[in-house]
Chains A and B, each alone.
Chain A
Amino acid sequence: MVKPKLIDENGLRIDGRRPDELRKIRMEVGVLEKTDGSAYIEVGGTRIYAGVLGPREVHPKHLELPDRGILNCRYHMASFSVDERKPLGMTRREIELSKVLREALETVVFLDEFPRMMVDIFIEVIQADGGTRTAGITAASLALADAGIPMADMIAATAVGKVDGTLVLDINEVEDKYGEADMPVAMAPHLDSIVLLQLNGRMTSGEIEKGLEMAQNAIKKIHAMQVEALKHRYRIEPEGMET
């Protein structure tokens, strides 16, 4: 496989975007029947369902905590979501991502509001085109909000990458594969803080600072979309206005 040119002579990316441009994002809240809260997200070719079950009784029982609830999170990719079939079961990558995603969400959920209970979050990637963990946590926050779980803020996320020496926002699969670096960032926008941060690849401290700024601006936009998606689900038409 030959590495494609990731930035063209006009400074545009392999899918025609500008370096600081997000892909097309679509969000929908309340898409699954049997969960207590759910959401669906599309970011470019990435497609993810997130579902929340609970608060409910802790299973197994001995794990329950007297003073607060516990949060579980499973990030899982469908076998057909990637080019080469992913074996069934949890890979090491999925186990690691489940941990960092749970820790990010745990930061904003008021766990002491439901002692002796647990909340399960399931993130199911049905098609992966880069940025699955960040799109996954964006959908998971929506599902938590849909389930009515009390939170300090609603997390939104995106990734910044470095491709052909240029910092780019919201990298896709090709950019991730052939680029120099991938930095997923999730933030609690109202608390102005990072809740998830990873870096794979080489970046100078200056590039990281610039990248965080790009991510922060994009996260504000994604957060606004989340709010719209929730409003769309819960809008009540004023009485007498039905047609």
Chain B
Amino acid sequence: MSLGMEKRGYAIKIMKNKVYDLLKIGKRIDERSLDQLREIKIVTRVVEKADGSALVSLGKTKILTGIKVEVGSPYPDRPNEGVFTVNAELLPLASKSFEPGPPDERAIELSRIVDRCIRESRAIDLEKLVLIEGQKVYMLYIDCYVLDYDGNYFDAAVLSAVAALMSGSLPVYRVIDGRVELAPNDRMKIPLRTPPVSVTMGLIGDKIVVDPLPTEEEIADTLVTIGIDSDNVVAAIQKSSPGLLPVSMLKEMIKLSLVKSQEIRAKLLEAVGNGR
């Protein structure tokens, strides 16, 4: 129910019945099993001018994240922590339902979910990003671009942001007489603690599908994204579409997400885990 809200009425009821009938015999419209992820491909360092970048495809959904690093001031209430911000854009070439212009509520929600997964799992060691306490810190701008939308931009965006962080690097600055000076040709790894991943699930009747396609998102009773860190602790949840979510189904979803997150994290580590 998240996208294409205008297509409703009988067409959607027929589609929902069809999808649900398949789910009852353990099948999905693309032949996957209910808890099966689509193929994940991760390519890092695709943009040389970025301080970190990763192109992730999740089935036919494709997201590119690039990181740019600057030196700036910390937040006044957090003088000994670096700063990062996440932005996401649903590019109009990714889907007919995306329009040019400033980020709409879907894009803002996406960026805030990616931010939440990274921030609340404490993935980035922000205390190691301080150059002069209270004055100069590293600022990481993590920008996600949805290039192709074929369902579930949440998990693909989190994957590409984390892959870009893991494979990226920071310019090195030296502090001389209270001033920061760039040390040319020197780079250091981005200090990370844990690679968080997210698992998005759709609830269709009493069935839970992992990594939903656009059609499944459209007919689902509701959608839930769960962010999980490497200690198997939940760090973020977002119910991202209307609909009733029975407490019992949420419990099932959390259990399932804990299992699937390990599968996704294994893929991530396989692609960018070298030296970490």
A residues contacting B by CB (< 8 A) are 1, 65, 67-68, 92-93, 95-96, 98-100, 103-104, 106-107, 181, 183, 188, 191-205, 208-209, 212, 216
In addition to A194-B244, A198-B239, A205-B255, 8 A-B residue pairs with Cβ atoms within 8 Å of each other are A65-B6, A99-B105, A103-B240, A193-B247, A195-B244, A197-B245, A205-B234, A216-B247
What residue of chain B has the Cβ atom nearest to residue A194's Cβ?
B245
The interface of chain B, by Cβ under 8 A from chain A, is 6, 8-9, 77, 105-106, 108-109, 111-112, 116, 120-121, 224, 229, 233-247, 250-251, 254-255, 258
A104 touches B236 (CB 8 A): no
A–B pairs, 16, beta carbons within 8 Å: A65-B6, A67-B9, A95-B105, A95-B108, A96-B105, A99-B105, A99-B109, A181-B120, A183-B237, A192-B247, A193-B245, A194-B246, A197-B238, A202-B234, A204-B233, A212-B250
Q: For the complex, what is the distance from the CA of A93 to the CA of B116, rounded to whole Å?
A: 12
Tell me the minimal C-beta distance from B217 to chain A in angstroms.
Answer: 13
Q: Which residue of B lies closest to A187 (CB)?
A: B247
Instruction: Report the nearest A residue to B224, measured CB to CB.
Output: A197
Residue numbers in B under 8 Å from A200 (CB-CB): 116, 120, 236
What is the minimal beta-carbon distance from A98 to any residue of chain B, in angstroms? Answer: 7
B143 to chain A minimum Cβ distance, whole angstroms, is: 14
Chain B residues with Cβ below 8 Å from A216 are: 247
User: Bound complex: CA of A200 vs CA of B244, how far in Å?
Assistant: 21
Contacting residues, chain A, for B235 (C-beta < 8 A): 199, 201-202
Docked pose: A94 CA to B229 CA in angstroms = 27
Within the complex, the shortest CB–CB distance from B71 to chain A, in Å, comes to 24
Q: How far does the alpha carbon of A100 sit from the alpha carbon of B239 in the complex, in Å?
A: 8
Which 9 pairs from chain A and chain B are nearest by CB?
Answer: A199-B237, A193-B244, A103-B242, A194-B245, A197-B239, A99-B105, A106-B242, A107-B242, A202-B233
Q: Closest CB-CB distance, A86 to chain B, in whole Å?
A: 15
Complex interface: chain A residues within 8 A of B237 (CB): 183, 197-199, 208
With contacts A197-B224, A197-B245, A202-B229 taken as known, whether A92 is within 8 angstroms of B8 at the C-beta atoms is no
CB contact between A192 and one of B8, B111, B112, B246 (< 8 Å): that residue: B246
Query: What residue of chain A has the Cβ atom nearest to residue B8's Cβ?
Result: A67
Q: Which residues of B lie under 8 Å from residue A67 when comparing CB positions? A: 8-9
In whole Å, how far is A194's beta carbon from the nearest beta carbon of chain B?
Answer: 4
Closest Cβ of chain A: how far from B85's Cβ, in Å? 10
Chain B contacts for A98, CB-based, 8 A: 105
Contacts of A199 in B (CB 8 A): 120, 234-238
Given A1-B77, A212-B247, also A93-B112 (CB < 8 A): yes
| Least distance between B240 CB and chain A CB atoms (Å) | 8
Question: Which of A92, A104, A194, A196 is within 8 Å of B111, CB to CB?
Answer: A92
Residues of A within 8 A of B106 (CB): 99
Contact of B247 among A104, A106, A194 (CB under 8 A): A194
On chain B, the residues within 8 Å of A204 by CB distance are: 233-234
Once the chains are docked, how many angstroms separate the CA of A208 from the CA of B243?
A: 20
The reply to whether B244 and A201 form a contact with Cβ atoms under 8 Å apart is no
Shortest CB-to-CB span from B115 to chain A, Å, is 9
Q: Among B77, B105, B120, B243, point to the contact of A107 (Cβ < 8 A).
A: B243
B246 & A193 in contact (Cβ 8 Å cutoff): yes
Q: Which residue of B lies closest to A109 (CB)?
A: B242
- Cα distance A197–B240 when bound, in Å? 9
Asked if A208 contacts B234 (CB within 8 A), the reply is yes
Nearest Cβ distance between residue B95 and chain A, in whole angstroms?
18
Smallest beta-carbon distance B197→chain A, Å: 14
A229, chain B: closest CB distance, angstroms? 24
Contacts of B247 in A (CB 8 A): 192-194, 212, 216
Contact check, B251 vs A209: say whether CB atoms are below 8 A apart. Answer: yes
